[in-house]
Amino acid sequence: MSTAIQSRLNEFRQQRRVQAGSLIITVFGDAILPRGGRIWLGSLIRLLEPLELNERLIRTSVFRLVKEEWLRTETIGRRADYVLTPSGRRRFEEASRHIYASDAPLWDRRWRLILVVGDLDPKVREQVRRALFWQGFGALGADCFVHPSAELSSVLDTLITEGLSSAIGALMPLFAADARSAQSASDADLVRRSWDLGHLAEAYSAFVATYQPILDELRRDHLAGVSEQDAFLLRILLIHDYRRLLLRDPELPEVLLPANWPGQQARLLCKELYKRLESLSSRHLDQLLCLADGRVPEEDVTLAERFPQNDPLSA
């Protein structure tokens, strides 16, 4: 039995408040999407019960995700499958490109800007600000949001799926002037004014401190004594914690980051630990993940591939 894994699982179980909906989103994106994007509710409950999430909490959280149009239901007899909506699938696929990448995206040295050029109700303005913050945007004042590499059309699509279509007409997406010369002082100043990298660095360092002992133990013992269930549960918590960090991370190019940035260490750690858990945790899914009609969905290998194989693991 892995003491480091048990310690992390017990730490999660002892939390007084758990955002079950957010955790379920992680389960759908990491485990269910590659297997068709649907699951019987009873199967989802069995997968999460070992984390001491009770059935009522899971049901309530799933119903809320339906209301928010992440999921929809398909009734089959007296049971129902919960299925990713098209917009939910798009959001997962976009997030996956960031979560399972081994390196931050290359920078074309052009800043992406979203300007507020029309009148917005204060409540809607705050909703837009928060939605852009969770997509990694920094703020330059109240009316200008900035990002180094976001795909602006996808950003606007995400705002629409989050119920902010009424605000789109008041927003102007654009590229800043191309600057292919060496990094300028204005770039560094823009980063300093737009993002609190200090808090983000602390969060990445805490992630490394949590999961490095587990990886060290697995390097020594090679999964000895680790059950399929524990491998799956740890895999979900790993991706869940890492996904929440990436939601806040603008993924700045290396040239604009402070020296010894812990984000890359966290990325490499997440990749290696995930790959070590992947096979064992997948066998657990083979046993418990099923549909309302009793079928076990086949895994789509093109979606199941996580992290590029040709990028070597950290030693």
Q: What is the pLDDT of residue 101?
A: 75
Residue 147 domain-assigned?
yes
> Looking at the structure, do residues 82 and 160 belong to the same domain, yes or no?
no
Phi, psi of 68 (to 5 degrees): -85, 5
pLDDT band at 304 (very low <50, low <70, confident <90, very high): low
Q: What tens digit of pLDDT does each residue of 271-291 get? A: 999 999 999 999 999 999 999
* 229 pLDDT more than 90: yes
The whole-number pLDDT of residue 303 equals 63
* Nearest C-alpha neighbor of 111 from the set 197, 190, 31: 190
Domain identity same for 207 and 132? no
pLDDT of residue 305: 66
pLDDT band at 30 (very low <50, low <70, confident <90, very high): very high
Give the distance between the most distant pair of CA atoms in the chain. Answer: 64
How many structural domains are present in the chain?
A: 2
pLDDT for position 183: 47
Residue 307 CA, chain-centre distance (Å), reads 14
Q: How confident is the model at residue 315 (pLDDT cuts 50, 70, 90)?
A: very low
Report the SS3 class of residue 112: strand
Flag whether 16 is in a domain.
Answer: yes
The answer for residues whose C-beta is within 8 angstroms of residue 144's C-beta and 6 or more apart is: 113, 114, 115, 116
Q: What local confidence, expressed as pLDDT, does residue 217 receive?
A: 94
Residue 311's pLDDT is 47
**Residue 225: pLDDT band by 50, 70, 90 thresholds?**
confident
The pLDDT tens digits for 232-278 are 999 999 999 999 898 888 888 888 888 889 998 999 999 999 999 99
What percentage of the chain has pLDDT greater than the value 70?
A: 91
Q: What is the pLDDT of residue 256?
A: 84
DSSP state of 256: G
What tokens appear for 285 in the block? Answer: 């899914």
For strands 79-84 and 38-40, give the pairing.
Answer: antiparallel
**pLDDT tens digits, 117-163:** 988 899 999 999 988 988 889 988 889 999 988 888 888 888 887 78
**Owning domain of residue 126:** 112-178
Write down how long the chain is: 315
**Which stretches does DSSP call E strand in 150-274?**
171-175
Domain for residue 59, yes or no?
yes
Kindly report the average pLDDT of the chain as a whole number. Answer: 87
Parallel/antiparallel/unpaired status of strands 138-139 and 144-147: antiparallel
Taking residue 134's Cβ as centre, other Cβ atoms within 10 Å add up to: 13
Instruction: Evaluate whether residue 117 is within a structural domain.
Output: yes
CATH of the domain at 299: 1.10.10.10
Q: Are residues 214 and 245 in the same domain?
A: yes
Distance CA 294, CA 43 (A): 10
- Residue reference for tokens 């602390």: 202
